[in-house]
Structure 1
Amino acid sequence: MTSTYDRAAGSRLLRQLRESRGWSWTDLARALRGTAQQLRVDALAQVAVPSIQRTIARWESPTGMTVPADRYQALLVHLYARTPAGVVNLDAGSDLDRLVTAFQYLGVSSERIDELRSVVARSAPQGEANLFTMLSPAIHTAAARVLRDPALLDVDLLGRLSAETSTIDQQVGTVPFVRLQLRLSPVAEVFRRLLPDAPVPLRKQTAILAAEAFALAGRLAFETHDDEIAAALYTSAVSTASSQDDARVPVAIRTSHTMVTLYTTNDLAAAGRIAAAAVHEANRSQDLAIRARAYAVHAEICARSGYVRRARAALSRAWINVDRTGSNQEDGRFGTDRLAGFEGVCALYGDDASIAHESLARSVATLTRPRDAVQRGIVSTDLALARLRLGDTRACADLLHEAVDLTAHTGGRVPAQRIRHVRGALRPWHREAFVADLDDHIYDALIGR
């Protein structure tokens, strides 16, 4: 095991590994896609072989500037853990050991390498090459047993699967989205397979938990630009949740789906239809925080569409529900911190920069938890736009610097889109030094890394 950081050496070792098996770039690309199909890493299973070839070429470039992304790391580990004859070999001097050395040269963290080794070690005894090996050992064993005989499904396994979904959700903003997506994929697949044959007493609970997992998987697919997969997962989440007499879950899913639809298609009408459906179902729910979020999302879509009065009416209903819950940023539910951000966005689209600034500043001040990092990046960018509309261009740029740092850390797709929008609004000042500094920061943190 080496601790030397040397990207050129890592790239060279990746090439040597491929050539030692007599593989061309095309051969390795096909092998990686086949492994992706086995592991149900859908985003890569559908990628064309020439595209994967080009990715491999970048890894092996003598400049050593490109490191395999998390999803490719998982595929490479599964691929090289077996000899060309299909025999598992995890020993010192094996292809897997050489791959790990390459990863270390390329700067992959020891924690990530341990995680990858653990996944492969769990798959080896069963001779499995599927995504269930990515589950924790306790869940993997129980899930394998239940998938063979669904009648054995019990609340303990459902609780473990639900806890894993919740843990992954809580790590949004602190762990790369691709890594969270890989961890959640087997959980969502277990739920998908359990749904048709779940025992009747557990069918409703299984459906609700499955819908929550599908929705989070859709969010993660959106963040990693797998838009078709995101749309399919949200469709599954809505249909699964709507089959149960519990309005809370479909409302939460539809509000998330509204914003994903907006940012993937820029189709306000389509987003508006989903938001309206969320409000309709929210009125059946007794969960006031869920209802408040549905109204807030609907308000933003109305404001973006130019329906200022409708936006204000929806915001008023959202505030009524939040005030009744007493919910705030400390309990992790939708509360005053998030709603102030929606109020600020609606004011921006209603051309009231002063109110927008006040609301957005209040929201930013309360979004302090690690879980809030993505949202803080979004609201900081909106606040920057409010500052610009109030005539303070330097303050706008200063706030964008903060948003850039947050977005580089979280990988959030929405704040990145909004940063581009606000930077476009700064175009008249493009010759100013503070804007040039901002451009350098954007390039270094978000584009050139």
Structure 2
Amino acid sequence: MSRPSGNVRLKAARVAAGFNSQQDLADALTRHAEDMGLRGLSIGVRQVRRWESDTPPWPQPDCQRMLVHLLGQSMEALGFTPPWAPDGVQHAEPTRRAVVAGGAAAFGVASLPPRAAAAPQPSTAGTDFQAVTRSHRRLYWSVAPPQLHPAVIAHARLGCALLPDTSDSTRRTVAAALGETYLLAGRIEFFDLREPSAANATLLLALQAAGEADDSLLGSAILAHMAFIPGWLADRDGALERMTAARTYARRAAASAEFLAWLDAVEAECETRCGNTRTALHLIGHAEDVLAAGNGHSSPEWMDWFSPGRLGAFKGNTQMIAGHLPQARESLLRALTSMTPAEDKQRTVVYGDLAAVEAASANPEGACEYAGKALDQLAVTWYATGMERVREVRRALAPYQHERCVRDLDDRLYDWATTLSALSR
């Protein structure tokens, strides 16, 4: 049997990241360069073809940066030989330790110094590491993001240190918990701290760890979260590319009806932000049907960010943006009544959307009342996405800015505590 030809490491990393063709990778690299401020950098399919050849040339520094950031592995792990390698000999096959620790270091998130091999970790290391991951997951709903985020990142560094010294089921347990930890860090960076570039890099590390654990469902969840990043920038092609990968990974696992409905909801939000509300409402309708039918599979314990009430919140937001104000009001009020105390962060978003509905209905008093409720909740559980909704409402209330209720809202929105809190994030 003939051996595969060409740079099989780069090709494998490309396919694993969801880029099925060389053209897909070239397009993604070009878009990623723009996201990182390298607007003059354009990667063509011919260049990718050369990188996947038997003798791939050493890429230019900016291209190296794009490859490492997008694929989450070091240049050597991607099959490239540095010019300074002795006699041009390809480096030895990188171990998974180099992929995980080296990939983390490439993003500046979990950089680990070289160290000598340690004694193998006991089987309890996996369950102990996983227990802290679960605790962080629960703390997310009550602890302020700036306080929780450093602890989550430190826990991820510990996971990167533990992983090389584990094997078999313990290794899979640590890798899966590490993937979940990086996913939580990425969620905080994107939804709470509003740092999409950092979130994208962190979520790539999460995907890499999920691959180590061979956990397709976790990989699907990570890819769907990554779709939010281009989706919120109205980059429909970028969002759909990641959603296609997320659905592909979900098909490999026994995904619950709830998980599949959430994928529809994510894609619907991306479509809404790209101006395609009709498509988004169709997706939400499909999600409702999927939830109603069920499929007998249970959701993973780490999926604590979705419920029928939150689907209603997605629906109400899309209806509001589409101009279906009575329907949006009904959906949002129903979502509000179905939410539990553990969903207080999402409650701020629903209050903000109800305020937007009232503002669009020429009811400034009602808009200010709901905006005030959102601020009350934000004082307890800060959520940047919720504050963003309130500020959008205030902009919509510009025609009523001399009304007493709007002035009262301004007094709350721009008091010392709220102003300093918002500007410091």
Which TM class, normalised by the smaller chain length?
Answer: 0.5 to 0.7
Cα gap change, 1:339/1:190 in structure 2, threshold over 3 Å: closer, same or farther? Answer: same
In the alignment, which residue of structure 2 is the partner of 1:76? none
Tell me, yes or no, if structure 1 residue 198 matches structure 2 residue 166: yes
Q: Structure 1 length as normaliser, TM-score?
A: 0.61
1:340-377 CA distances to partner (integer Å, 9 max, x unpaired)?
Answer: 011111212222111111111111112231x3111111
Answering whether residue 400 of structure 2 is matched by residue 429 of structure 1, we say yes
In 1, Cα distance between equivalents of 2:399 and 2:236: 28
Gaps of 5+ in 1: 1-146
Q: Does 1:385 align with 2:353?
A: no
SS at match of 1:285: coil
Q: Does 1:340 align with 2:312?
A: yes
1-structure distance, mates of 2:122, 2:306: 33
How many equivalent residue pairs? 299
8 Å contact 1:322–1:335 — kept in the other structure?
Answer: no
The structure-2 alpha-carbon separation of the partners of 1:404 and 1:260, relative to structure 1 and needing over 3 Å to count, comes to farther
**For residue 318 of structure 1, what is the aligned residue in structure 2?**
287
Q: CA deviation at 1:250?
A: 1.5
Once the two structures are superposed, the pairs formed by residues 89-108 of structure 1 within 5 Å of their partners are: none
Find the aligned partners of 2:355 and 2:251 in 1 and give their Cα distance: 35
Deviation at 1:267, TM superposition (A): 4.3
Matched, 1:160 2:128: yes
Normalising by the residue count of structure 2, what TM-score does the alignment of the two structures yield?
0.64
Match of 2:177 in 1: 209
Comparing 311-320 with 378-387, greater Cα deviation is found at: 311-320
Residue of structure 2 in register with 1:364 after alignment: 336
Distance 1:390 1:235, change over 3 A: same
Among residues 235, 250, 258, which one is paired with 2:227 in the alignment?
258
Checking the alignment, whether the CA contact within 8 Å between 2:121 and 2:166 is kept in structure 1 is no
Corresponding residue for residue 349 of structure 1: 321
- Secondary structure at the aligned position of 1:320 is classed as helix
Structure 2: gaps (5+ residues) = 1-115
Q: CA deviation at 1:405?
A: 2.0
The residue number in structure 1 matching 2:107 is none
User: Retained in 1: the 8 A contact 2:119–2:165?
Assistant: yes
- SS in structure 1 opposite 2:368? helix
Deviation at 1:404, TM superposition (A): 1.4
Q: Distance in 1 between matches of 2:215 and 2:334?
A: 33
The separation in 1 between residues aligned to 2:385 and 2:366, in whole angstroms, is 21
Cα distance in 2 for residues equivalent to 1:322 and 1:410: 29
CA drift at 1:274: 2.6
The code of the aligned residue for 1:386 comes to: V
For residues 305 and 384 of structure 2, what CA distance do their matches in structure 1 show?
22
Q: Deviations over 1:200-249 (max 9, x none)?
A: 34333322211111111122233234544322111111232245543321
Partner of 1:446: 418
Q: Does 1:299 align with 2:268?
A: yes
Runs (4 or more) in structure 1 with deviation over 6 Å come to none
Pair 1:407-2:378 in alignment:
yes
How is 1:169-248 mapped onto 2 (pairs within 5 angstroms)?
169-222=137-190, 223-248=192-217
Residue type matched to 1:421 in 2? E
The question of whether the paired residues in 2 share the 8 Å contact of 1:279 and 1:295 is answered with no
Percent identity, aligned pairs only, is 27
Q: Which has the higher helix share?
A: 1
Shift of 1:261: 5.0
Please give the alpha-carbon distance, in whole angstroms, between the structure 2 residues aligned to 1:360 and 1:402.
14
Distance 1:227 1:161 in 2: 27
List per-residue Cα deviations over 1:45-65 (Å, max 9, x = no partner).
xxxxxxxxxxxxxxxxxxxxx
Residue type of the alignment partner of 2:405: F
2:254 counterpart of 1:279 = no
8 A Cα contact 1:251 1:290, kept in partner? no
Kindly provide the amino acid, as one letter, of the partner of residue 331 in structure 2: S
Paired AA for residue 407 in structure 1: L
Aligned-partner Cα distance in 2 for 1:168–1:428: 44
Say if 1:312 and 1:186 are closer, same or farther in 2 by CA, change over 3 A.
same
CA–CA separation in structure 2 for the residues paired with 1:273 and 1:421: 29
SS in 2 for 1:151: coil
Q: Report SS of the residue matched to 2:249.
A: helix
Conservation of the 8 A alpha-carbon contact between 1:304 and 1:349? no
RMSD of aligned alpha carbons: 2.7
CA change 1:266–1:166 in 2 (3 A) is: farther
Is the 8 Å Cα contact of residues 295 and 317 (structure 1) preserved in structure 2?
yes
Greater shift after overlay, 350-359 or 203-212?
Answer: 203-212
| Cα gap change, 1:344 to 1:283, in 2 (>3 Å) | farther
Cα distance in structure 1, aligned partners of 2:119 and 2:337: 48
Q: Distance in 2 between matches of 1:238 and 1:244?
A: 10
- Structure 2 CA distance, aligned partners of 1:275 and 1:405? 35
Q: Distance in 2 between matches of 1:334 and 1:150?
A: 40
Change (3 A) 1:390 1:430: same
CA distance in 1, matches of 2:248, 2:327: 29
Q: Distance in 2 between matches of 1:153 and 1:186?
A: 21
What's the counterpart of residue 81 of structure 1? Answer: none
Query: Take 1:213 and 1:359, find their aligned partners in 2: how far apart are those partners?
Result: 33
For the Cα contact (< 8 Å) 1:153–1:199, is it kept in 2? no
The 1:409–1:229 alpha-carbon spacing in structure 2 relative to 1, beyond 3 Å, is: same
Q: 1:151 aligns with which of 120, 128, 135?
A: 120
Q: Is the 8 A contact 1:214 1:233 kept in 2?
A: yes
